[in-house]
Structures are given as C-alpha cells and as structure tokens.
Chain A
Amino acid sequence: MKFLFLLLTLFVSLYADVYTQKLYETVLGSIFKERPIVVFATGDVKATLQNSKMFDVVGNCKNAVVAVIGNDTSLEQRCKNIPIFATTHRNYMRILNAFGAFYWRKGRPQIHFREGELKMFHLHLSHDLQRFIDE
C-alpha cells in the first residue's frame, strides 16, 4: 500500500513538471514564433525547458530571444535588452523589463502579463492569454 502511495506521489510530481513544461510551451510558444525558441533560463525552470523540444536553452542572454529568470537577480542587468519572463511574483514586480510571469500561489498557477512591456518588445499575445494582462 505504501509502495502504491509512493508511486502515486511520484506520478503527481511528474505530472506537475509536465504541467509546468506544457504551460511554458503554450505561453512562450504563442508569443515567440521561431522554433526552437532560444531561451536563457536559470534555476529549476532551466531543467524544465531543456526537456521540451520547443526550446533551445542557451547559457547567456546574448543569443537568447527571451530570458526566463527565477530568483537570480544578478542576471537582470545582463539581460536587460531582451524580454524577461519571471517565475516569481517578487521578480515580476521588481524587474522592469519583465513582460510576464508564471508562478504558483496558494496551490494555483498564476499567469501575468504587462501590456507596456509587451508593446515595448513588440510581443503579441494570443486571444486566450489576453485575459491575463494586468490592468
């Protein structure tokens, strides 16, 4: 029984990773049209994106079209020329060129976009995602 429970937990964990990966594919895939999307990522999200065929994860911001940044604030300055997608609410609020964010709050996924930054980087959201634009 314990084994069954462990297996279930493992499955749910795997499912959560897949969910996150799928969400990144949906969100970033609808905004950036080139394939693969060259992305600079740090932290846990790097591994998640590396598992997806849609993304080409690179080691610096120079070649990337988008940066997905978690808690590492030191990257902020180096990536100020490309759009940044935050993975925490704190970074989303703090980083000026963050056009959007995805993070979990109270067990619920939270997606946010800033209209100004989207315009600044000439990014277009699909109709489905427009309801997540902060007003």
Chain B
Amino acid sequence: MNNNVFFKKSFYITYVTVIVLIVGAFYIFKIFDKTSSDIERLTLQSNIEYINNITNNLANLINKKTDMQLVNSLKISKVLRRSLEENLGMFRTKRYKYIYVVQKLPNTEKFCFLLDGAKKDKSGFLEIFQPFNIQEWLEVYKTKKPRYFKHRNIKSLWLTYLKPIVQHNKVVGIIAIDFSLNEYNYMHNTLDDLSFSIKIFMSLLLFVFIVVLIFVFIDKKRVYLLKKQAKEIQNFNITLQKKIDEEVIKNREKDKQILEQSRLAQMGEMIGMIAHQWRQPINAISAASITINMRAQMDTLDPKSTIELADKIGELTQHLSKTIDDFRNFFKDTKEKQDMTYDELVISTLDIVGVSVQNKNITIITDIQSDIVFCTYVNELKQVLLNLIKNAEDVLEEKKIKNAFIKIEAVENRLIVRDNGGGIPEDIIQKIFNPYFSTKTLNGTGLGLYMSKTIVENHCGGTISVTNDAEGAVFCVVLPST
C-alpha cells in the first residue's frame, strides 16, 4: 500500500463515519422532537380528559344546585354562590390556576363573572370580563360543546378550557379553567434540558470520535512508516545477504586461485627439489653406465660385476620412481580426510624437502613426542609444513646463518617449527599471514603463509601462530584432537 492509497482510504473512512454520525445525530434529534411533541400531545390529551370529567361533574353540580336557573339562583342566594365557589376552589391547584364561571352579556362580546373559585384577587359577581380569544368563547355558546385553546399573549397561562353549562337546551354560562404556564414550562424546561444534554452528548461524542480518529490516523501513519521502514530493512537485508553470498563465492574463487598460484609456485620449488633428489642417483646411474661401458671396451666386463651394476641401476631407478611418486602424491588433490600422526607428517615432508635443505648446510632436527592420530587433510598439511621449512630455509640461506638449523617438534597436538634465523621484525609480525605480504627479496609470492593459515584454520579446524624466541621465529600449529 503506498502513501496515496493509505491517505485516500483514511479520508474515505473519516468522511463516511462523519456523515454517518451527522445523519445519526439528525435522526436522534428528529426522534427526540417527535417524542417531545408526543409527550406534549399526550400530556395535553390527558389533562383535557381529566378536566373534562371535572367540568362535567361541576356542570352537573351547578345545574343541580341552581335548579336549572343559574343566573337567577345566583342573584338571589349569596350563600349558594359561596357554596359553589368553594366547590370550584376545591379543584384549584398549581396546575389549574383559575376556575370560574362566566356568562355572556347580551348584545355585546363581553362577559360577566358569575362564580370565581379564587381566594385572592377574587372577581366580583357580575363583574365585567373581557377575555382574549373572544371567538373561542363565543363558539362555545354557539356549539354548546367544550373547547380549549392555547394562549400566546398571556404570560402566566398556557391553556384555557371552556365547558358550557347548558340549561333548558341553552348555554347559560361557561365554566372556564385556566391552566398555569408553570406546568407547561416545567415540562418544556425538562425537555429542553434533555435536548440540551443530548446535544452536548452528541457534540462530545463527535468531538471524542474526531479526536480518536485523529489519534488513530496518526497511529496508522506511524505504523505505516514503521512497516515501510521494516520492509526497507528487510529488502536491504536481502540485498545485503545476496551481496555477502556473492562476495563469499568471489572469495572462495579467489582462495582457489590463490591456492592454485601457491601450488604452481610450490611446483617450481618442487622441480628444484626433484633435481636435487635426482642428481645423486642420476650421477650414480651415469657412473654405473660409464663403468659398464669402460669395462666393455676394455673387455673386463664380467657377468658378476655386470649384474651388480645392473642391480644398482635398478635400485637407483626405483629410488627415482619413488621420488616421483612422493611428489605426485604430494600434489594429489585428496578430498577426503585421512588418519595421520605428526611423525608420519614430518617424515613424509622431509622425504621431499630434506635433501634440498641439507644440501644448503642446514641441519634439520626432529623431536616428535606425539603419537596422536589426527583425521585431517594430509597433503594440505604437508604443504603447510613444507612452507614453514622452505621459509626457514630461505631466511637462513639469505642471512647466511652459521650453524643454521631447523627444529621440528611435536608435543601432543602442537607441531612447532623453529629456526635460528633471527626472528621476524615485530612491526610486521602481525601482517605475515596477510595475502601477498612477503619479506623475500627474490621469488616471494606472499601467498605461502596466507595459504598455510587458510589450510590450518579453515580446512583443518586448527590454529597457526608465530612468535619470536631468542634465536629466531617459532611457528606453532595446533590441530584439534579427533
């Protein structure tokens, strides 16, 4: 998922959710309005039903007590008026603010009070009364049916209920009941409070949602960036691993090439060694051949000496053949590990290089005190020992050391090659195992010790180190015991 898709998706989610919330809020407010108007309607209906029953009873009572002669009876009897007014006053509560009976004055739109249920500010009998909404009052006279109407311009009243008093099929008065606005206000204030609370709650909900959305958005962005970074790191790791693998392969190729170079260099040296090894037997063969030739010319060649000379030539030829086999075995690329002791290793190596060294007046001293059998790559270790001996030989020859010697010791799993060539300078001793590092003035490839370290440590699982002692350099090879 790229940045654009992420932001587009977030935007759509936010947009849809906000729309849903707004629609939800409108729906809730609509439901609230409907409920509010239902409450108002039901309250009104219940009040009207209740007041209708009361006024029915009151009308019946008035009719009964006035003997169907309302005005005349009231004019005559003040006691009756008081009695009826007390009856009216019994129904006066906080809800029903005024309860009174009026009569329409003839030929006018004015009324006069007949009865008043009030205790304070009581209207007088036949006091003129000018009501608002006069048509509603007149309509009661016309229809002889009860009516009610709400007030808009009287501050303390909510509604007035009018009940006609019918005597002799004629409306002789109206029982009027004024509903207090307090009751209505109480209901309305409660609903307003509820509406206000819902609005606050919805606003808070919206606010909290938006805040949460912002945090989620920020967190998503952070998670997205983290994921992106993790992916980049993963890709980088994959690339890095590829590069490492490539480099490892390259290094192996390089090592292989170096090994080949090293082997070729050693082969050059080996040819010299073969020449040394072969010189004496070839000379002996040559001498035997000359002897046979001379005796033949002088006719002194007897069968016995001929056989002896021929046997000697045969022995020498065998020696030459063995020498060749030794060298061939040395260069044989064995892939399998073989059992070997340090004693066998030293003997077989000295078979190759011993004559060459001794011809240069260098004494080889061996002190093998280890009979541990190692399972390792024998020919490769021979190369290592050969390198160490040849290096010592080169140094001793170059420095023309008197009483030069190379001492090969073996103690347990340690093989030590030391000489009296004066040692390796301390400033370069750490570098001598580096590839292409050489101190030799002639014919130094700088690969011998590097290859030796590679063989011992990488192939044979051992270690190789160098130190100086009082006389010269000391190389120590340690192989793991099998």
A interface residue numbers (CB < 8 A to B): 1, 5, 12, 15-16, 89, 93, 105-108, 110-112, 132, 134-135
Which one of B97, B130, B196 lies within 8 Å of A107 (CB-CB)?
B97
B72 part of interface (Cβ distance < 8 Å)? no
Which one of A1, A15, A93, A111 lies within 8 Å of B155 (CB-CB)?
A15
B202 part of interface (Cβ distance < 8 Å)? no
Point out the residues of chain B lying under 8 angstroms from A111, CB to CB.
130
Residue-wise, chain B 135-157 has the 8 Å CB interface mask toward A (1 for contact) of 00000000000000000001111
Given contacts A107-B97, A110-B130, contact A89 B155 (CB under 8 A): no
Point out the residues of chain B lying under 8 angstroms from A107, CB to CB.
97-98, 154-157, 178
Point out the residues of chain B lying under 8 angstroms from A93, CB to CB.
124
B91 part of interface (Cβ distance < 8 Å)? no
CA distance A132 to B123 in the complex (A): 18
Point out the residues of chain B lying under 8 angstroms from A135, CB to CB.
108
Within 8 A of A (CB), among B160-200: 176, 178, 189, 192-193, 196
Which one of B98, B124, B196 lies within 8 Å of A1 (CB-CB)?
B196
Chain A binding surface, main DSSP class? mixed
What are 20 A-to-B residue pairs whose CB atoms are below 8 Å? Answer: A1-B193, A1-B196, A5-B189, A15-B155, A16-B155, A89-B123, A89-B124, A93-B124, A105-B127, A105-B129, A106-B98, A107-B97, A107-B154, A107-B157, A107-B178, A108-B129, A110-B128, A110-B130, A112-B128, A135-B108
The answer to whether B132 and A108 touch across the interface, beta carbons within 8 angstroms, is: yes
CA distance A1 to B186 in the complex (A): 12
Residue ID in chain B nearest A19 by CB atoms:
B155
Contact size range, B = 20 to 34
The answer to whether B129 and A12 touch across the interface, beta carbons within 8 angstroms, is: no
B342 part of interface (Cβ distance < 8 Å)? no
Which one of B123, B189, B193, B196 lies within 8 Å of A105 (CB-CB)?
B123
Point out the residues of chain B lying under 8 angstroms from A134, CB to CB.
128
Point out the residues of chain A lying under 8 angstroms from B130, CB to CB.
108, 110-111, 132
Point out the residues of chain A lying under 8 angstroms from B129, CB to CB.
105-106, 108, 110
The answer to whether B193 and A108 touch across the interface, beta carbons within 8 angstroms, is: no
B413 to chain A, nearest CB (A): 97
CA distance A30 to B121 in the complex (A): 29
CA distance A93 to B128 in the complex (A): 11
Residue ID in chain A nearest B97 by CB atoms:
A107
